Amino acid sequence: MNLQARIAIEALRAGVPNREAVRLLATEQTAIEQGFELALHRAWADGARQGSGLGIAGGFGTGKSHLLGYLAAVALAQNFVVSAVVVSKETPLSDPARLFQAALRGTVLPERNDDPMTAALAELRRSPADLAKLQAVVAGPDSGFAPVFAALLFLLARPATPAERVRRFEKFLAGGRLNQSDLRQALKEAGAARMFDVRAVPAAELAVQRARFTPLLFRLAGFAGWCLLLDEVELIGRYTPLQRAGAYAELARWLGLDASVRIPGLVTVYAITEDFRTAVIENRGDAEKLPERLRLKGRPEQAALASAGIRHISAAPRRLLPPGDADLVACHDRLRELYTSAYDWPAPSAPTGARTATDTLRQFIKGWVTYWDVLRLEGTVAQIVAGTLAMNYAESDALSQPPEPDDEP
């Protein structure tokens, strides 16, 4: 029995492809893959300003999560640090602090298994010249960074800084809390008590600055940049109106749709259901109502970003193409080989049945796996019946934004 193959089959049976399943099944969405590779190439282009990122739209079970997993493998192969986030109640898209924390928790480094901040800062401390470059960027008068970033880099440049203190700095840069008294004591010990104004920064503002800082850190640590993959963005359709407006604005910021808030070195891709535009944006009048609500609350910049996010979801996502006959045959054959390897059992060809316009790749994959399971275990031929699951976009107070984390320095 091939353990990796079996784990991959179990993941596909559950409808959540893991890294091995993604690698073996690959993807036939070549146009999206090419657009993604172009975005990676342009991550630092145009005066070191972020590109627009990508949106992927498809129905339930059409392979959006699988494609995001494949794009993650592509980015890792090009030396990008990759973060994957599934939008949920715990990680609301409208909360920049929580989303950033979730992104760093779900981060994978190219060809190594390590904490991203630990690895990046360790590489940077071994290269004083690159550490000095990053210090110069964040310490500039027009850098847009709070002095706490320059203060931390100043302390990290000192070999005498204790390892325990370095770990606390790593946690802070990944979205955690940093004790101000401890930071001031460290600066005092280094003879720099008056060099930095390390007063507290609001959590939302700090999250934005961390997001700008992170790809700069990764690049100077030897990586190509940062790739953020957002799955199940359609959940924002269940947010209350004001929270949904904030989610549209945050999506626009992560995509770099406004030149003034672009993040150099970051490539963002999001996946969303293809009926979201009609079911939510058009049916609820989001494009007209929600930016206006933000303007009435005195948030004109956020209103402009919300409009940009709504426009992107309405027009820009690339629709997943349904699998063609040749694609299905290729997928079936690769999956049959995987199943055979997983159970040391010669899986025969499985029927595809009569195709309809609404058939999804997930239906075929789960149907084939179920067919082989029943045949292997029971010796009988299963008759597979497929149904359609409707997406629920009903607004829910239970998904209201949770309290902001206390993560000021």
Quick: pLDDT tens for 328-379: 888 889 899 989 999 999 999 988 766 665 667 778 888 889 889 999 998 8
Which three-class secondary structure state does DSSP give residue 230? Answer: strand
Residue 197 lies in a domain: yes
Given a cut of 50, whether residue 407 has pLDDT beyond it is: no
Residue 398 lies in a domain: no
Euclidean distance between CA atoms 66 and 331, whole angstroms? 13
Q: How confident is the model at residue 400 (pLDDT cuts 50, 70, 90)?
A: low
Q: Mean of the pLDDT values across residues 166-191? A: 91
Picking from 153, 174, 208, the residue at the C-terminal end of a domain is: 208
One domain, residues 151 and 202: yes
Picking from 274, 292, 320, the residue at the C-terminal end of a domain is: 320
What percent of the chain has pLDDT above 90? 56
Quick: pLDDT tens for 219-243: 999 999 999 999 999 999 999 999 9
The verdict on pTM exceeding 0.95 is no
Contact 261, 305 (CB under 8 A): yes
Which three-class secondary structure state does DSSP give residue 49? Answer: coil
Residue 324: per-residue pLDDT: 77
One domain, residues 105 and 243: yes
One domain, residues 141 and 79: no
Euclidean distance between CA atoms 12 and 204, whole angstroms? 37
Contact 257, 308 (CB under 8 A): yes
Residue 408: per-residue pLDDT: 42
Residue 409: per-residue pLDDT: 39
Q: Which two tokens stand for residue 180?
A: 């101000």
One domain, residues 330 and 316: no
Residue 15 lies in a domain: no
One domain, residues 316 and 245: yes
As a dihedral over the C-alpha atoms of residue 146, residue 152, residue 158, residue 163, rounded to 10 degrees, the angle is 180
Euclidean distance between CA atoms 266 and 40, whole angstroms? 8
One domain, residues 232 and 169: no
Residue 78: per-residue pLDDT: 94
Residue 195: exposure state from Cβ atoms within 10 A (0-12, 13-18, ≥19): middle
One domain, residues 36 and 158: no
- Residue numbers of the domain that contains 51: 29-110+223-320
Name the residue among 150, 122, 158, 130 with its Cα closest to residue 213.
Answer: 150
Residue 262: per-residue pLDDT: 85
DSSP annotation string for 218-241: HHHTT--EEEEEEE-GGGGGGS-H
Which three-class secondary structure state does DSSP give residue 210? Answer: helix
Sequence-distant (6+) residues with CB within 8 A of 116 are 81, 104, 107, 109, 174, 218
One domain, residues 106 and 235: yes
One domain, residues 106 and 227: yes
Contact 175, 104 (CB under 8 A): yes
Given a cut of 70, whether residue 46 has pLDDT beyond it is: no
Kindly report the CATH number assigned to the domain that includes residue 287: 3.40.50
User: How many domains is the chain built from?
Assistant: 3
Q: Which two tokens stand for residue 361?
A: 């790749």
Residue 407 lies in a domain: no
Lowest mean pLDDT among 1-5, 98-102, 386-390: 386-390
Q: Which of 138-142, 276-280, 351-355 has maximum average pLDDT?
A: 276-280
Sequence-distant (6+) residues with CB within 8 A of 334 are 24, 25, 26
Residue 227 lies in a domain: yes
Q: Which two tokens stand for residue 344?
A: 């040391």
Contact 33, 27 (CB under 8 A): yes
Q: Mean of the pLDDT values across residues 153-176? A: 92
Q: Mean of the pLDDT values across residues 266-277? A: 94
Euclidean distance between CA atoms 303 and 309, whole angstroms? 10
Q: Mean of the pLDDT values across residues 273-294? A: 95
Residue 408 lies in a domain: no
Euclidean distance between CA atoms 193 and 408, whole angstroms? 19
Contact 75, 54 (CB under 8 A): no
Contact 38, 184 (CB under 8 A): no
Residue 17 lies in a domain: no
CA 284 to chain centre: 27
One domain, residues 47 and 61: yes
One domain, residues 235 and 282: yes
Residue-averaged pLDDT of the chain: 87
Q: Which of 11-25, 38-52, 145-159 has maximum average pLDDT?
A: 145-159
Number of Cβ within 10 Å of residue 382's Cβ equals 14
Euclidean distance between CA atoms 122 and 397, whole angstroms? 43
Residue 331: per-residue pLDDT: 85
Picking from 146, 178, 208, the residue at the C-terminal end of a domain is: 208
Residue 2 lies in a domain: no
One domain, residues 139 and 123: yes
Q: How confident is the model at residue 52 (pLDDT cuts 50, 70, 90)?
A: low
Q: Mean of the pLDDT values across residues 276-296? A: 96
